[in-house]
């Protein structure tokens, strides 16, 4: 709490240190989600689904962080539309296309029958079917790359949203509440089959309209960060209690197996967008931001702040490369039967930590090579940098 209070003073700059501390946490949750998908069978029957409900806030937190960081960087400056789009396209589209090709080749050469994305043979790298598969990956986003697909859509409308929110500051609370209602209503409409069937599955997860709450909340928090930061710190204990209660409620609703309207349309049951999980997601994102505030306070050791900055720089490389390492770990698990030899918590945590470390090593190397603009969308860094 002392760390939180000492960090409430804020000077507007193009970069906010709290986001640096949030990125590694969100990244760890993303990897945890994918580790549970691939290794969850080793855990007791109901453990993996419960943990997935809790870790899938990673997706929402990533969109919140992206919207927050982008809005905060522009502040109240005059908006240069052409320069904005030019910079965003080079930083996102190029790595997206490169990684789509990488995963196209990787999935063609690596056969993992348990997962449908890994059934292509090496001979499928050429020919009409191969081109069709590659085109599908580029258009829809391979597995976790859908995040970049949504970001591209967000970049298209961001300048308009920025102008709107700048001119509607007095209505920010109402806009956030409306976004929450819309987030719930969209999921309910889908589960009740009130929306076209094509919107389910891939289209839902890759559509901008599936994340209004987190994108608009990220922008609003950035525009009003000074006052919201103070409020978060003052209410840190209450936010923690709220998040724990909401998490317990989401898990309980999933176990209740109610046949009522609530059980059919609101409880999670594998639905990543479930309405009952939204309050937990909101509380968890606030908690992650509070962790960022505490980690960036003046009383935090310098080595810790330096480490979080470094991990923040590595976050995009960790994210993009993770689905190289996790399938390799699956092969190691299968070859040496680790699931039967290790306690399931050790297996899951070990896979998470190993994936994260491999991603950091990969990112640290790439950041200092000419491949940096292609693989992580950033200029090459010097071999030794300060700060």
* CA gap 92, 5 in Å, rounded: 36
Please, are residues 144 and 95 in contact by the beta-carbon 8 Å criterion? no
In this prediction, residue 257 carries a pLDDT of 61
Query: Which residues are CB-contacts of 305 (< 8 A; sequence separation ≥ 6)?
Result: 17, 295, 296
CA distances from 371 to 95, 123, 320, 357, 381 (A): 10, 27, 14, 20, 11
Considering the domain boundaries, does residue 386 fall inside one?
no
Sign of the C-alpha dihedral computed for residues 297, 300, 306 and 307 taken in this order: negative
Residue 236 DSSP symbol: H
In this prediction, residue 263 carries a pLDDT of 57
Rg (alpha carbons) of the chain, rounded to whole number: 21
Considering the domain boundaries, does residue 74 fall inside one?
yes
Q: Cα 121 to chain center, whole Å?
A: 30
Considering the domain boundaries, does residue 156 fall inside one?
yes
CA distances from 85 to 79, 81, 90, 141 (A): 11, 6, 9, 20
Considering the domain boundaries, does residue 380 fall inside one?
no
The residue written with tokens 């998040």 in the block is 243
Please, are residues 63 and 217 in contact by the beta-carbon 8 Å criterion? no
Please compute, for residue 6, the number of CA atoms within 13 A of its CA located in the half-sphere on the CB side: 10
Considering the domain boundaries, does residue 210 fall inside one?
yes
Q: Please name which of 293, 193, 271 lies closest in space to residue 281, comparing C-alpha atoms.
A: 271
pLDDT in tens, the chain (387 residues): 444 444 433 334 456 788 888 999 999 999 999 999 999 988 888 788 889 889 989 999 999 999 999 998 876 566 676 777 777 777 888 999 999 999 988 877 655 555 545 555 656 677 777 788 888 889 888 989 999 999 999 998 998 899 899 899 999 999 999 999 999 888 888 777 787 777 777 788 899 989 999 999 999 999 999 999 999 999 999 999 999 999 998 888 877 765 555 555 566 666 777 888 899 999 999 999 999 999 888 788 888 888 999 999 999 999 999 999 998 898 889 888 999 999 999 999 999 999 999 999 999 999 999 999 999 998 888 765 544
* CA gap 329, 236 in Å, rounded: 38
Polymer length of the chain:
387
Residue 61: burial class (beta carbons within 10 Å; 0-12, 13-18, 19+): buried
Single pTM value for the model: 0.88
Residue 330: burial class (beta carbons within 10 Å; 0-12, 13-18, 19+): buried
Q: Cα 293 to chain center, whole Å?
A: 19
Q: Please name which of 275, 304, 282, 278 lies closest in space to residue 292, comparing C-alpha atoms.
A: 304
Please compute, for residue 298, the number of CA atoms within 13 A of its CA located in the half-sphere on the CB side: 6
**Which H/E stretch holds residue 238?**
helix 236-256
Distance between terminal CA atoms of the chain? Answer: 26
* CA gap 222, 77 in Å, rounded: 14
Sign of the C-alpha dihedral computed for residues 338, 339, 341 and 343 taken in this order: positive
In this prediction, residue 267 carries a pLDDT of 61
Considering the domain boundaries, does residue 248 fall inside one?
yes
Number of domains in the chain: 1
Considering the domain boundaries, does residue 369 fall inside one?
yes
* CA gap 88, 90 in Å, rounded: 6
Considering the domain boundaries, does residue 131 fall inside one?
yes
Please, are residues 29 and 57 in contact by the beta-carbon 8 Å criterion? yes
Please, are residues 329 and 351 in contact by the beta-carbon 8 Å criterion? yes
Range of the domain at 310: 2-375
């Amino acid at each position: 709490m002392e760390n939180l209070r000492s960090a409430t003073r804020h000077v507007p700059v193009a970069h906010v240190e709290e986001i640096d501390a949030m990125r590694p946490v969100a990244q760890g949750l993303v990897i945890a989600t994918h580790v549970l998908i691939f290794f969850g069978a080793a855990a007791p029957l109901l453990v993996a689904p419960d943990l997935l409900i809790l870790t899938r806030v990673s997706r929402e937190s990533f969109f919140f962080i992206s919207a927050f960081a982008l809005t905060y960087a522009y502040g109240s400056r005059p908006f240069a539309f052409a320069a904005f789009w030019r910079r965003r396209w080079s930083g996102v589209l190029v790595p997206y296309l490169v990684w789509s090709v990488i995963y196209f080749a990787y999935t063609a050469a690596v056969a993992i029958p348990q997962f449908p994305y890994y059934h292509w043979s090496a001979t499928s790298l050429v020919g009409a079917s191969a081109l069709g598969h590659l085109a599908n990956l580029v258009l829809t986003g391979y597995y976790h790359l859908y995040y970049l697909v949504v970001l591209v859509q967000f970049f298209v409308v961001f300048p308009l949203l920025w102008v709107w929110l700048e001119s509607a500051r007095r209505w920010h609370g109402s806009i956030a509440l409306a976004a929450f209602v819309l987030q719930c209503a969209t999921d309910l409409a889908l589960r009740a089959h009130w929306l076209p069937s094509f919107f389910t599955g891939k289209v839902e997860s890759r559509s901008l309209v599936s994340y209004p709450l987190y994108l608009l909340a990220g922008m609003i928090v950035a525009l009003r960060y000074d006052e919201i930061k103070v409020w978060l710190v003052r209410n840190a204990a209450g936010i923690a209690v709220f998040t724990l209660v909401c998490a317990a409620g989401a898990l309980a609703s999933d176990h209740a197996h109610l046949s009522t309207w609530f059980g059919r349309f609101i409880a999670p049951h594998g639905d990543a967008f479930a309405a009952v999980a939204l309050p937990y997601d909101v509380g968890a994102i606030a908690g992650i931001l509070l962790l960022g505030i505490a980690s960036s306070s003046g009383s935090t050791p310098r080595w810790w702040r330096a480490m979080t900055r470094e991990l923040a720089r590595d976050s995009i490389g960790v994210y993009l490369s993770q689905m190289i390492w996790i399938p390799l770990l699956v092969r190691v698990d299968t070859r040496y039967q680790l699931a039967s030899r290790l306690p399931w918590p050790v297996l899951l945590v070990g896979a998470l930590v190993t994936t994260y470390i491999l991603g950091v090593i990969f990112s640290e190397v790439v950041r200092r090579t000419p491949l940096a603009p292609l693989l992580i969308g950033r200029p090459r860094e010097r071999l030794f940098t300060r700060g």
